[in-house]
Amino acid sequence: MLIALVSLCCVVSAQAQTLKFGHINVQELIHLMPERDSAVVGLEKYRAELEETLVGIQNEYQVKLADYQQRHTTWTAAILETKQQELSQIQQRMEQFLQTAQQELEQMQNILYAPVYDKADVAIQKVAKDMGLIYVFNSAGMPYIDESQSEHLLERVKAELKIPAEKVAPTPLGGQQW
């Protein structure tokens, strides 16, 4: 019984020593991928379309506001009330558009970036499997990783994705995300 317990401890200890972990900063990897560039272009184009629509609404409001400010003293009570309602409706439309536009922009970002993240995920999984890793941590934002206990995967995943080794991700400015 004692021999069996000691043998079991040795086997468990040996297995614990073979557990391998990896880590990679996924955001850094995404910045390096050429597919990200087309996602950024698509997102900026969509953002520009939304901004163009917003500018149109703002211009309409400014024109009606200027007309109101110039002529409100000459209008009858009925016209004054109608013009005030028009201004109020345009403001409401602008606020509603801003809320909807923000949601649509986030949805478009998810749509455009999904293939990039999927491709990165497939490459990370392949490299991890090839290296016999049981878990890969996303090191973005992690306070500490003991690199002596975990394999850094960035260079191997870059190679898997055929990203040139000399290409380096830009450092984020002011916490700005991809």
**Is residue 82 in a domain?**
yes
**Is residue 79 in a domain?**
yes
Q: Residue 22: is it exposed, middle or buried by C-beta count within 10 angstroms (0-12/13-18/19+)?
A: buried
**Is residue 8 in a domain?**
no
User: Are 50 and 105 within 8 A, CB to CB?
Assistant: yes
First to last CA, the chain: 59
User: Are 85 and 77 within 8 A, CB to CB?
Assistant: no
**Is residue 15 in a domain?**
no
**Is residue 2 in a domain?**
no
Query: CA–CA separation, 173 vs 101, rounded Å?
Result: 25
DSSP 8-state class, residue 138: E
Query: Residue 104 belongs to what domain range?
Result: 21-160
Count how many domains the chain has.
1
DSSP 8-state class, residue 140: T
**Is residue 84 in a domain?**
yes
For residue 125, how many other CB atoms are within 10 A of its CB?
Answer: 14
CATH code, domain with 155: 3.30.910
**Is residue 14 in a domain?**
no
Q: pTM score, two decimals?
A: 0.71
Query: CA–CA separation, 61 vs 130, rounded Å?
Result: 60
- Name every residue whose Cβ is closer than 8 Å to that of residue 50 and which is 6 or more positions away in sequence: 101, 104, 105
> Which pLDDT tens digits describe the chain residue by residue (178 residues)?
434 433 434 444 444 557 889 999 999 999 999 999 999 999 999 999 999 999 999 999 999 999 999 999 999 999 999 999 999 999 999 999 999 999 999 999 999 999 999 999 999 999 999 999 999 999 887 777 777 788 889 999 999 999 987 777 665 444 444 3
The position carrying tokens 């019984």 is 1
**Is residue 67 in a domain?**
yes
